[in-house]
Amino acid sequence: MRKQIVAGNWKMNNDYVDSEILVSKLLVQHKHSNTEVIIAPPFTNLLASINALKGSSIKVAAQNMHFAESGAYTGEVSAAMLKSIGVETVILGHSERRAYFNESDDLLAKKVDTALAHEMRIIFCFGEELKDRKSGNENSVVESQIKKALFHLPEADWSQIVLAYEPVWAIGTGETATPDQAQDMHAFIRKTLANAYVQSLADSVSILYGGSVKSSNAKEIFSKTDVDGGLIGGAALDAEHFTAIVNAF
């Protein structure tokens, strides 16, 4: 059985106080269920969130990390630093990191290796741009992104990988992929995994959809066979909306 996961990527939103308020609201509304719930606040709110969520099943992820172990990388945060405050999961490869911070497939492969060396779980994001979809190249773009960053991994490492398909044209735009578009891509990703590895591995990897998921469309998207949950941006900043999305399963 694949894990069902709903993760909230707060991006660069919420200062320390906002974060405390949102976490306390989530705590009140959260009901333990089979769906794993993760929040990814900014670095400055990670430790406080972890402390506030002690005893709850809501988990905390980081939004990024550097590939190096330590050293002269001003402004960066390492895997060991994250682990030292209890962060076990990291989001890597988000399209905003790729677009605004020039994160390439090669760089992401290094980050993946470092995270795994620190026994961290990875929510690995990828997805095509509008021009790729318009030209019918979405499958080849997605295949290339996951191949270059992940297909060097041995089978055993995949227990630490969660995939998040986030078509760039659907992020923050209000334009969601249709449930069928999401299903088609997720099925393609699973087939690609089965071809590169084995079917049992492909069947075990959770594939999340991200891009304008809201409480109003989550149920339909999550009802698709190969959609195992969501990576939520804007709607994760509101406790009621986020909890309604979690409850859409």
Sequence-distant (≥ 6) Cβ neighbours of residue 71 within 8 angstroms:
none
Strands 207-210 and 229-232: parallel
Residue 94 annotated among the catalytic residues of the structure:
yes
Binder to ligand 13P among 26, 213, 245, 246 (CB under 6 A)?
Answer: 213
Q: At 4, which helix (H) or strand (E)?
A: strand 4-9
Please state the closest distance from residue 54 (CB atom) to ligand 13P, in A: 25
* Residue 171 is a binding residue for ligand 13P (CB under 6 A): yes
* Residue 229 is a binding residue for ligand 13P (CB under 6 A): no
Please state the closest distance from residue 89 (CB atom) to ligand 13P, in A: 13
Q: Which stretch binds ligand 13P (CB under 6 A): 136-144, 146-154, 179-187, 229-237?
A: 229-237
x-or-dash pattern for ligand 13P, window 2-31, by CB under 6 A? Answer: -------x----------------------
Catalytic residue among 94, 128, 186, 241: 94
C-alpha atoms less than 13 angstroms from C-alpha of 106 in its C-beta half-sphere: 1
Rounded to an integer, what distance in angstroms lies between the CA atom of residue 92 and that of residue 162? 10
CA distances from 76 to 43, 79, 123 (A): 10, 10, 19
x-or-dash pattern for ligand 13P, window 91-120, by CB under 6 A? Answer: ---x--------------------------
In the numeric block, the tokens 């905390």 are attached to 60
Binder to ligand 13P among 38, 58, 62, 231 (CB under 6 A)?
Answer: 231
Please state the closest distance from residue 127 (CB atom) to ligand 13P, in A: 9
Rounded to an integer, what distance in angstroms lies between the CA atom of residue 91 and that of residue 79? 12
Q: Which stretch binds ligand 13P (CB under 6 A): 146-154, 187-195, 219-227, 228-236?
A: 228-236
Binder to ligand 13P among 6, 37, 58, 232 (CB under 6 A)?
Answer: 232
Token digits for 7? 């993760």
Q: Where are the beta strands (DSSP E) in 117-228?
A: 121-126, 161-165, 207-210
Please state the closest distance from residue 164 (CB atom) to ligand 13P, in A: 7
C-beta of residue 214 within 8 angstroms of C-beta of residue 152: no
Q: Which residue from 231, 217, 234, 207 is spatially nearest to 6, judged by alpha carbons?
A: 231
Q: At residue 63, what are phi and psi to the nearest 5 degrees?
A: -90, -10
C-alpha atoms less than 13 angstroms from C-alpha of 215 in its C-beta half-sphere: 12
Q: Between residues 176 and 183, which has the closer beta carbon with respect to ligand 13P?
A: 176
* Residue 212 is a binding residue for ligand 13P (CB under 6 A): yes
The count of chain residues that interact with ligand 13P, using the rule CB under 6 A, is 14
* Residue 42 is a binding residue for ligand 13P (CB under 6 A): no
Task: Using CB under 6 A, list all residues that contact ligand 13P.
Answer: 9, 94, 166, 171-172, 210-213, 231-235
Catalytic amino acids?
94, 166
